[in-house]
Every structure is written in structure tokens, then in C-alpha cells.
Amino acid sequence: MNDSGFRNGAFLGGIIGASLGMVFGTKMSPMRKRKVMRTARKAGLTLKNGMNFLWK
């Protein structure tokens, strides 16, 4: 398996996911948005840790 292709796909998937999250985030109520932001922050840290693991 081509390792760099997997890394590029994971990076591109992260960018697309963040973009979609921003689009759907603009259509939420403030309370729901706060809850989603808390979850997104945790998911973002997990994604960052995963990306760092793959790139090392």
C-alpha cells in the first residue's frame, strides 16, 4: 500500500470535514452550537494526534 497516498487522503478528509462542519455550524441554535463546538474540539485534538502519528 502506498503510505503517502493514505496520509494525503487523511489530510484531505480532515480539511473537507472541517469545511462541512463550518457550513452546518452556521445553521444551528446557540445552545446546540456550544455543545457541537465542545465535541468538535475533542475530535480536532484526536485528529491532530492521529495525523502526527501518521507523519512520524
- Sketch the domain layout of the chain as residue ranges: 3-55
Residue pLDDT, tens place only, 1-54: 455 666 677 778 878 888 887 777 677 777 877 887 788 888 888 888 887 887
Q: Torsion angle, CA of 14/17/22/25, rounded to 10 degrees? A: -130
Pairwise CA distance, residues 47 & 32, whole Å? 22
So what's the pLDDT on residue 1?
45
> What grid cell was written down for 25?
455550524
Residue pLDDT, tens place only, 18-33: 888 777 767 777 787 7
> What grid cell was written down for 46?
484526536
Query: 0.95 exceeded by the pTM?
Result: no
Pairwise CA distance, residues 48 & 11, whole Å? 10
Cβ-proximal residues to 50 (8 Å cutoff; 6+ apart), any chain: 10
